[in-house]
Amino acid sequence: MYSKKVIKEFSSPQNVGSIEDADGVGEIGSTIDGDIINISIKVKDNVIEDIKFKTFGCVVAISTSSMVTNLAKGKTVDEALELTDEDVINALDGLPEGKDRCSGFALDALKMAIEDFQQKNK
């Protein structure tokens, strides 16, 4: 049902935790299935130098949160904002039908963290 990459990211997620002195924080919760995703970022010279997540949710919520942090780390803020659901799904070698609707939550949390960073640095 799940790809090997989804299982790997779920079983051994990377970038788990939170950044206490984060430059931006985004959190989203889904009333549909109860997933809650929190992403915090540390930005230096407009590059996401550190990123962490805490997720309460299903296999897809955890694996996409891990993958989103992997994809965003080291990118400029603008490059991270350009990440799409398709980028995340492809990086995970696909998601089961019906589960792809959950894939965007982690990206939404990332974008909220970036917006928080941008608001603080206007």
Which range of residues forms the domain containing residue 115? 4-120
In sequence order, the 6+-apart residues with CB closer than 8 A to the CB of 11 are: none
Residue 55 pLDDT: 94
Q: What are phi and psi of 3, to 5 degrees?
A: -70, 165
CB 101 within 8 A of CB 21: no
- CATH number of the domain encompassing residue 25: 3.90.1010.10
pLDDT tens profile 83-120? 999 999 999 999 988 776 677 899 999 999 999 999 99
Residue 30 pLDDT: 67
Count of the separate structural domains present in the chain: 1
Average per-residue pLDDT in the chain? 93
